[in-house]
Structure formats: structure tokens, C-alpha cells
Structure 1
Amino acid sequence: MSAAAVPAHARVRVPRHSAGSVAAGVFGELLITVGVLLGLFVVWQLWWTDVVAVREQHQVLQALDWEAPPPAPEAPAGVEPAAPVERRDPPPVDEEPAFAEVFAQLYIPRFGSDYVAPVAEGIDRQQVLDVLGVGHYPGTAMPGELGNFATAGHRTTFGRPYHLVADLVEGDPVVVRTAATWYVYRVVSHEIVMPWQTEVISPVPGLRAGDPIPELTQRLMTMTACHPMFSARERYIVHAELDFWMPVSAGVPAVLTDAGVDVVGVEGGD
């Protein structure tokens, strides 16, 4: 049957699309593609970077190959084992290390029994914070030194070592271990500041550039992280003060063993 013989009402009409509708369709598909790519980026940024960073930081801790603290001596039945001696005289202080060198381990019982983070020299994001964990502000005090041992860490992504920094409460222990020494700090205060308020990492927090530095009498530690979560608009600050120190050769501080913290290099730990 010829096309001319087909009744008019039985013919199928193919709709004609205007240039505008075609462009809108293409634009819509582009938006969907962009949305998928953005979703994949978010997954990478918020999840995969954590997976990679945690694995790399674990390898960094293992590579330190430091001497393990000796186990606590067994006490006779019915007798409480003696706690390691907590020293409050001036502690030993290491020299400031080279850029990106890992020189300490950080334990915070409030963050969980399996929490431990490497501490490296510098706060460069790509070379230190994104790959090594916690960074030390160059020029600030070293662990145990008079002044302010100032550190920075991510709250989200790349292992997020300071993810729970806002959960710390006054009196919480923050424990730094170097190759030979434990330094046990206690949280004393929190504050939220703008990024340019660098006086929070001054030898005496609050001193501004150019202010005379008084005689230093406190051994402080400062933790800095971006605030609010998923933003770099402000900085969340936690200050702590040294409570005591002890040599690694004397064992593990009771603030860690009592909290069931897994100490790297100790049987049961990493």
C-alpha cells in the first residue's frame, strides 16, 4: 500500500524538536554528569583520603622503629601494681627537627583506645598535614619546653587527627611521646578565633607580634584545627599545660594504661 493510500488519521507524526529543546536536553545531561562527578569528588575527599592517610600514617609510625616501653612489672597477688613515677622537674627537650621529619607520637584517650597520630615538623598542607598527620608550628616550643608547643591537624579528611578536638574537656590528658620521653599535658581551655589571630600560638597565648615576651613559666601545648566542621572560616583552639613527664624506659603512663589505650610497640598495640 502506498503512503498516499494510508488514511490521514493512521499516519504517525514524528515530533520536531526545536533547537532550544535540544540545547536544554544537552544542558540537563551535562548537569547530571557534573553532579555525578561532584558526588565522586565528595566521596574521595571525605572517605577515600581518610583511608589512604590512615594507612600511610600507620606505616609512618611503624617505620619509627623506636624502642618499646617495658611492660609494667607484675605485682604479687592481691597487691596493686606500682604506677610509673611521674616526674615534675624540668623535662628533657629535643632539638627542633628538620622539615617534615616525624619526631613524636600523639595519644589522646578521649579520642579512643586505638587513637595515635604521628607528629611531624611543619604545617605545610600537602607535605605534612595531608600525609603525615599532626604538624608542629616551626619556631614554637618543642614538647616539654617552656613556652607553647603549637600543633595543627585536620578535623575532616586526610586521616582527620583532630576530628574530635571539640570533645576534649578540661583535665583530659593529651600525651606526646618522643623516642625517649613521655610528656603528659592536661587540657585547660578552648576558644574559637579567626585565622589571622596567630597570638594563640605565641609563647604565652594572647601575646601579639611585637609585644615583649615575659619570663616563661609554663610548658603549654596548643592544638589548632579548622572550624566549623567542613569549613576553614575560623579556627578551633585547645590549650593544655604539662602535668608531668617520664622516660619511656620507665614504662607507659598510667593515663594511657588505665584508659586501655593501645600503645605502638607494646604487645597488643600496633
Structure 2
Amino acid sequence: MRAPGVVDHGTRRRRALGRRVLWTAGEVLVTVGLVLALLVVHQVWWTNRQAREGAERRVEALEREWDRGRPGATPAPEDVPGADADRQGAGAGDRTAPAGQRGRADTAGRTARERPHRSQAYAVLTVPRLSVRVPVAEGIGKPDVLNRGYVGHYPGTAQPGGAGNFALAGHRNTHGEPFRHLDRLRRGDTVEVETRTATYVYAVDRTLPRTSARDGGVLAPVPRSTVRPAYGYGEPGYYLTLTTCTPAYTSKYRLVVWGTLRSMRPR
């Protein structure tokens, strides 16, 4: 039996050590939480702010460049509505041209397609319903295109206004997230693509809510999903494809919005 007034120093030390361990663990957890919160703020808020400001400046720079008449890319007279027909002497008889474009083959054939360099911003995408106006750059690399708040052009697909499939990708979350609300687009909504030589107006007519990230069929000249074949087109035309990740804050699947060319306005 312990005598009254005798202090068990071993027990006191163990209790003190336990308190220090708990205090240290609490400090570590608070520090980790603060670091994670700062990372979230940086990723969700700061990257958006930086990318949006940079994208706005690039749009303004492109517009000034076009106004001064300085081309930003090397032109090549191919892959524009009616260009093939001009070279073959078909002219306005090209029946694959979209409504409103027949009869303009001579003008379109003389409007050179821009052949941009990798990562070069060379067009401006405007989506009125989403209040989006961002640069279009060649390629879909993250550091040099998508993470700058730009929309990226899939290499190998058609150029703006060209026959086939003009296909674009953009972030849904972070880094400007130009396609954050891509799922809000509806049939009949317009999407404009402005280049140095013309503005091309596409009308949304189909949406593929979810498909595999490896579904290359959505990027084909005649776009049709290889995962969900009921979605897509069955004949050649002048198409626009917009892709982004889905669901939000993941990259497992892809959301696809398609449109067809409705008109072209020379600058």
C-alpha cells in the first residue's frame, strides 16, 4: 500500500508523455489540414484566376494582331469549305457543303486555312450560352495549352470551317475551366470560332453524356462513338466536337458535345 503523500513519478512521466504525443499529433493534423486547404485554394481558385487572365490577354492580343493584318500562322489553301471543289472545278456544285455555304465555294477556296505551330494560339472560341471566350491553341498538352486556360485542338482533326471534324478539348475544373458547364449546352445553341480570315458558326445538335476516355470514334472525320454507337453521325460533313472530363473533378470519362457548321463570315 502506497504511503500518503508519495508521488509516483513514473506515472506522472507517462501521463506527460501521452499529453505531448497527443498535442504533437494534433499540431500535425492541423498543419496537414492547412496545407491541404491551401492546395485546394491554389488549385481551384488561383489557377483559375491566373489561367483566365492569361487567356483574356491572349484573346486581346490575337484580335490586335488580326486588326493589324499580321497573320499568326502559315496559310495553306486546303481543308476549307469548298476548297477541294475549287481545285477539282466543282465550285458551287459541292453538295457536302452545309446549308448557307453552297455558292460561296470560290470565296471559301481563296480563304486559306491556318496551319498553326504546336501550342500556338490561332483562333478564338466563343460560346454565348456559357459566357466563354477563350483562345484555341494547337495540341492538347496540359502545361503549354490546357493549363493556360486555352482550349486545345486535337492534332490530325480538321481546322475551323474545314470538311471533317474540328475537335477541341478543354478543362472542366481548374486552370480556367472553360468547359466547366459544357453539359448545359442544348440543341440549337451556337458556338463561334473566329480566325484571322473568318468566323465560323456551328450549331449544337448532339450530346454524348459519357463515354470512355479512349473512345477515338468521337474524333473521327465522321464522328461516331465506338463505345456507344447510337451517338454520332453517319455521313461526311462539317463538324465541331467539344470534349471534357466527366463527372466534375474526375478524369475517368469524357463528355462530348457535337455541332455542325451553319455559316461563315469573312473578316
TM-score (ref. length: structure 1): 0.73
Equivalent position of 1:180 in the other structure: 197
**How many positions carry a matched residue from both structures?**
215
1:240 correspondence with 2:259: yes
CA distance in 1: counterparts of 2:236 and 2:262, whole angstroms: 13
Q: Percent identity, please.
A: 36
Give the SS at the match of 1:150: strand
Question: How do residues 51-70 of structure 1 correspond to structure 2 at under 5 angstroms?
Answer: 51-64=49-62, 65-68=64-67
Whole-Å Cα distance in 2 between the matches of residues 54 and 245 of structure 1? 27
Kindly state the Cα deviation for residue 15 of structure 1 after the two structures are TM-superposed: 4.9
**2:92 counterpart residue number:** none
Residue 202 of structure 1: aligned partner: 220
**1:105-155 per-position Cα deviation (integer Å, ceiling 9, x unaligned):** 01111012xx31000000001111011510000000001111110000011
Aligned to 1:161: 178
The CA deviation at 1:224 is: 0.4
What stretches of structure 1 move > 4 A for 4+ residues in a row?
none
Structure 1 or 2: more strand by fraction? 2
Paired residues for 1:1-270 under 5 Å: 15-16=12-13, 17=15, 19-64=17-62, 65-68=64-67, 87-89=100-102, 90=105, 91=108, 92=111, 94-112=113-131, 115-191=132-208, 192-206=210-224, 217-248=236-267
Query: Match of 1:52, SS?
Result: helix
Query: Judging changes above 3 Å, is the alpha-carbon distance between structure 1 residues 43 and 109 closer, same or farther for their aligned structure 2 residues?
Result: same
| Cα separation, 2, equivalents of 1:198 and 1:23 | 54
Q: How far did 1:88 drift?
A: 1.4
Higher helix share: 2
CA offsets per residue over residues 66-125 of structure 1, 9 Å max, x none? 445xxxxxxxxxxxxxxxxx951354451431101111001111012xx31000000001
Answer whether contact 1:119 1:134 (CA < 8 A) is retained. yes
User: Which ranges in structure 2 are unaligned for 5 or more consecutive residues?
Assistant: 6-10, 68-98, 227-233
Q: CA RMSD in A?
A: 2.6
- Decide whether the 8 Å contact of 2:202 with 2:263 is kept in 1: yes
Secondary structure of residue in 2 paired with 1:223:
strand
- What secondary structure, in the 3-state scheme, does the structure 1 residue paired with 2:140 have? coil
